[in-house]
Amino acid sequence: MSKPVTGAFEKTKGWLDWYDGPSKPRFVLPAGAVDAHCHVFGPGAEFPFAPERKYTPCDAGKAQLFALRDHLGFARNVIVQATCHGADNSAMADACRASGGRARGVATVRRNVTDAELDALHQAGVRGVRFNFVKRLVDFTPKDELMDIAGHISRLGWHVVIYFEAVDLPELWDFFTALPTTVVVDHMGRPDVSKPIDGSEFELFLRFMREHPNVWSKVSCPERLSVAGPPALNGEQSAYRDVVPFARKVVEEFPDRVLWGTDWPHPNLKSHMPDDGLLVDFIPHIAVNAELQRKLLVDNPMRLYWPEEGRT
């Protein structure tokens, strides 16, 4: 399909080249659907990338994100601070402010963040902080510093988003289970989908959710987790089909604690850039009826990010 919004999908220079011609999804999203995991990158001239970043993306700003939202049929976004912006939340907060109430945010903060800074982020629409344990993305932060932050933000009713690799869950277990807030896991804790779904690694993740009702999961990023790849690479009809059983299991066992997001503009994907329309078409494979789809895409994200609207 050609560009849905003239100009809004124009590419900028850089090695990270997000897909600028997303197809119109065949799956019609329920009214009020929330893309609960996406990012903004810069634009770098206005919002410089962090000196400590591990990658330098191309620009992918709020206008492009909002155009994608409208093209795919989402009503709202949750914009997650990307590591390339470090703890400078300006681009993310600016996008939230500019959204007319249709975007909320997840920030990265340091231990020395002040109450006034947190209040300003809350005012902009931030409702959580992200702790990243993926070693290729961030330098190590001591756990006592993160625990201080978790204590600090809980007064605002915020939650903690955690991003880690499946092999690291045993080591991180005690820290995660001590967090005093709602905890949202990015991308199901990155399971190795070439391993059995009933193997010990994914079982540990399921146990984490079973034993801790404050733990939620994003069932996002099939394009990151898949070994099979998209249809264009392997000639199959169903995109990222090897991720389906894992995501479907989480959606069906924990229907009230799952979220979904595009992950646009897909940082660090090198083998292929996904068609975001195709990603939306993945949803009915993992949430197989209207009730599960409504919980995943509307009820759950609304409860977490727009609780004042009173959706149960």
In terms of Cα–Cα distance, which of 189, 180, 136, 138 is closest to 159?
180
Kindly state whether residue 83 participates in binding ligand 0GY, applying the rule CB under 6 A.
yes
Comparison of 165 and 236: residue with beta carbon closer to ligand 0GY: 165
- Tokens at 65, concatenated: 């994100």
Which of residues 33, 36, 72, 84 is near ligand 0GY by CB under 6 A? 84
Compute CA distances 155 → 115, 122, 152, whole Å: 10, 11, 7
Residues 92-121 that bind ligand 0GY (CB under 6 A): none
Classified as helix, coil or strand, 216 is strand
Please identify, using beta-carbon distances, which residue of 139 and 309 lies nearer to ligand 0GY: 139
Q: Which phi-psi region, left, alpha or beta, contains residue 207 (left: φ > 0; alpha: ψ -120 to 50)? A: alpha
Residues 280, 38 contacting (CB under 8 angstroms): no
- Select from 78, 79, 82, 239 the one that contacts ligand 0GY (CB under 6 A): 82
8 Å CB contact between 44 and 59: yes
Cα–Cα distance for residue pair 112/204, rounded to 1 Å: 34
Q: How far is the CB of 262 from ligand 0GY (least distance, A)?
A: 10
- Rounded to whole angstroms, the Cα distance separating 260 from 274 reads 16
In the complex, least distance from residue 157 CB atom to ligand 0GY, rounded to whole angstroms: 23
Angle at which helix 276-286 crosses helix 62-72, to 10 degrees, equals 50
Eight-state DSSP code of residue 77: E
Out of 35, 59, 94, 186, the only residue in the binding site for ligand 0GY (CB under 6 A) is 186
Q: Rule CB under 6 A: is residue 141 a binding residue for ligand 0GY?
A: no
Question: Residues 258-277 vs ligand 0GY: string with x where CB under 6 A?
Answer: -----x---xx---------
H/E stretch holding 78: strand 76-80
Sketch the per residue contact string, 22 through 51, with ligand 0GY: x for CB under 6 A, - otherwise.
-----------------x------------
Determine which one of 263, 275, 276, 299 is catalytic. Answer: 263
Joined together, the tokens standing for residue 160 give 């903690």
Q: Which stretch binds ligand 0GY (CB under 6 A): 44-52, 64-72, 78-86, 154-162?
A: 78-86
The encoded tokens of residue 121 equal: 């982020």
Provide the mask over 272-311, with x wherever binding to ligand 0GY is found by CB under 6 A and - wherever it is not.
Answer: ----------------------------------------
DSSP secondary structure letters along 261-275: ---TT-TT--S-PPP
Q: Reply yes or no on whether 186 is catalytic.
A: no
As measured in angstroms, the least distance from the Cβ of 257 to ligand 0GY is: 18
Question: Count residues contacting ligand 0GY (CB under 6 A)?
Answer: 10
Choose one: 8-16, 77-85, 234-242, 271-279; the region binding ligand 0GY (CB under 6 A).
77-85
Note the residues at the interface with ligand 0GY (CB under 6 A).
Answer: 39, 82-84, 137, 186, 224, 263, 267-268
